[in-house]
Structure 1
Amino acid sequence: MVARLLSTLLVLHSISVLLPSSCCRKKEPKLPVLQLHTNDSLPADLQVTVGLPAGRNKSYSYTSPSAHGALSVTLTACTSPIFWSFGPDNTTMLHTHSMDTYHVPSPSQGVYTLTLLAPESATLAHIYISTERGGPQALQSAKFSKVRLLKRQKGKRLTVKWNPSLVDPQGTDYCLVVGTKPPVGSLCAAQQDPALAVACVGRKTHHTITGLKHSQKYYFSVFAINNQSNFTYPYGTISSVFDGRFRHTSLKDGKATFANLKKLDGKAVFRYKVVNATESLDLFVIPCGGAIDIEVTLKNATVVPPKRVKSFGRITIKNPVQFARYYIKIYALNREELKKTSGVEIYATTRFPTKIPLPNMPQTLKVTEYKGLTTCDSVTVAWMAAPGQKSAHYCLSATEGKIREMEDYRMPNQCGLESRLKKSVDFAVKFCTDEKNYKEPVVYKTINQLKPGRNYIIQVTVKKPKGKTLSYDLLQVHTKPSCRRKQE
């Protein structure tokens, strides 16, 4: 019967490797070794696994080399309760359903006998004799572990996180057990329950679970395995009713709202309610690092079809419906884009757009070089003026270097731009200019004091008075290698 139990464990181990659970991402498990201990004597500070037949005592011995120090035994019952005793005289009888630790009051030198009885059915058991003061330190430190849940909105996912073990963190692996019934007390019990999903993740301290059902309660149990001692112990547990609904963020008129797209798996939904009768609803969208797609809907009808926003976007909805709720859906589902972005910042208003602290940007943010005017120490650039503003504060900077090959890297990260510009000290040249009542659609400026034959990244920014700073696209330029003609 014991051999059959061990065989069942090995079969379940193989199934867990070959077939992913309905609620767990496919992983290559590193389950603890379950080799049966065939010796009648027990080692110290090393977990062993034994097989117990039903209704028959089995005894093992441990020789304590010293009368000083600490001594305890931790017993884990896998599938059936166990009666047991440990000591020179076996006078104290214990009863274990999952895991218990017995501390010898006054350890003495000599032989201790461990007697085990599984009265109901055959089972496997883990035995761990510890000489650490207070019992296994790993088991004591597990009391301070914290298991946390992080909801992932895409694909009905949930990420379980926990702190690394305080005892031998580099030599500790973890297994996560997921089920819809109260957790079992041992990993070996979970391995034999086909209703539970077991995912062993090595030294990682997080695991993402997929395919969860809305309104279903799930139990998550983390078990730790010390690779040196093979000691396997409960590390933490948490339960939660999974809420699979997609939640939105409400926008307040004229107030900036930020969403971390990485934590939201690249998708965020904002809601804005039109309170007053108005001629337009203006949306200002600022991607933080990578391009995003935006779509606006009203009662499941598309108001603004999906549109790509790379650096800055303004969307105007004419004659919005009073008291209606508009949903602004932001997507950054491309993995490469999601790596570059930290999130998205959005403003919504039905009042005067001038109340928004952002400069009014033109349709195109491209900065152009007039190559015919480029010299060994200067370049002349032009850009579309910020429209509809009485005055605009432009700053130009030249930084020595090259833009990455990918075109998208020409888009600067608009979020926190002003703070980064203040901290930066690697500008070769930087100057600012105020343009008041600028009527020309294009602004021209020459950047001087550059070095011959060098690559520069040109950045043009515009600041709204008493407001924020936004950037035009970056421009790559190269000064002429020689100043000979200029001197002639």
Structure 2
Amino acid sequence: MALASLFQCLGTFLVMFWSVSWSPVHSASAPENEVTLRPNAWLSEGKITTMTLPKGRTRRLYFTLRKAPAMSVTVSPCDSPIEWSLSARTLKDKPLKSQQWSSKKSMPEMWWRGPGNEEKIHTFSGSAVDNYSSPAYPRASIYILRLHSKQQSSRATVYLHQGPGPSGAFPLIPADPRVHTLGVGMTSVTLSWAPSASLASPAQDKYDYCVLVNSERNFHSLCAAQKNAREERDKSREKTEKKRRVTAWPILKEWWWEQWEVDLEKQTPTSNGDLQCVCEGTESVCTVSELLPDTQYYFDVFVRDRLNGTSMAYEGTAAWTHGEAGPSITTLREGELRWVTFYDGGPRSEKFFSFRPHGSQQNGLLTAQNCGGGSKVQITVSSKGRVLTTEAVGKDMVQIWLHGSQVYLIHLEREGTAMSKSSTTALPGVLKTSVKMQTSSAYHRKGVPSLPSTLQVKSFNRLRGCDSVTLAWMGTEERSLYCVYRRKLRSRHGEDALDASCLGPESRSDTERVLCKYFQELNPRRAVTTAVIGSLEAGTTYVFDVYLMRRWGIPVKYASKIVKTRKEC
């Protein structure tokens, strides 16, 4: 009990002692909960200072001038835009020496919080290097430099120079800071820029140019480019680490990983991924090679001071390398019927077409049919470099539904030549394969039109007369128009030619058309329609062709039917 009373008395005595000793100093200027600012709050003259800028926080640097007639402040952001300002503060009274040594506040804070006037003399916002040069502010007691990063945590370098003229810490950029493109090829681009005045100085040996090329964007500083390269390298390491974890060779994987680390250290910090940088030489003309054809690249040029570790950026440029010589592309018109022919000119042949459907729905239908020849034809439809579908075009009609794109690229390719006697003895230039193709805009359709289950035409012997015959064929569940054409068969040798599947109604005479009718049956199994063809001659052989006339696509031709009328009735 006595011991507790003793400690209580001792604590009361210490509180009274400290309050009497320190209260005169802290009562007005230094609350007990304030702490000293960082030691680097003073900005040193003639020294490059690197500042870390946390997102959303303002960092302050203070400096005074030693009777210098002029000054310059250079701020170089690294990888993101920042805001910085320079203010001149005039104090009525300087802080007392007793306050400077006894207060928990740092010297800049004592000057900043004292009574006086503050005037902002310069502001800047952006990601480029900015320099402020001016005669010394006549009434300034202390200068305050504020730096702020809104988007993300970043870094910036600050340099203070006291006195007139350039500081010499940063390389000089010419009056024309642009990077010009002299020539563009398929895999190379030639650049030029105005020389920097720093390379004409006596200390020109410490300067060189860095040329940076990448396919993402231009960089405002060499620091930003190096940070981007490190991030890409870290991502590559993470991917490699994941692959290493699932490696099936537990003995070899550690050795392989160590070798990969050694190889990576040999690379330059900015040679990772598609980011390529060359820092050597003092020539102001450079040719960047080993690029990809038909690709956009961004080019940056930096003049670098190797001794000080500083650099200045030119205004970058961009160029698109030339593409490889591509094939000619033919535009298909709405509903245009086109015959695509391949001649004997080698083992492979190809043709390109483009089609743009009409209407806001952007729906279309592509129909194609192989019309003879010993070669197979493959049709590929793509849009914006993405293959949508690939179909082999044979005897049967091919229907390809086009939906969801504004423009389609249609590629027809002959795969090879059939090994037959006629094909092996064919002379160069002889027609080998022909494809019939049409493209149409299908405004309100939701898919490809239905086709008959069979394309055979049937005739009824009991219904065959001297001047008429009865035909039947399968239709579809969609309402469609069917037209029948007739023609006398004058010789048996022409039978095969008349049965050509690609012989369309556009090649037939109007006098041959004998009947057109609409038909629809919702049940596909019962979709059978018939037609009686009259006004025929007795004992005569006729070839009858039925066509399914469609609003979209090529008309569908049924197999030709040969019927001979009765000679006597």
Kindly indicate which of the two structures has a greater share of residues assigned to helix.
2
Larger radius of gyration: 2
Q: Would you call these one fold, judging by a TM-score over 0.5?
A: no
Q: TM-score, normalised by structure 1?
A: 0.37
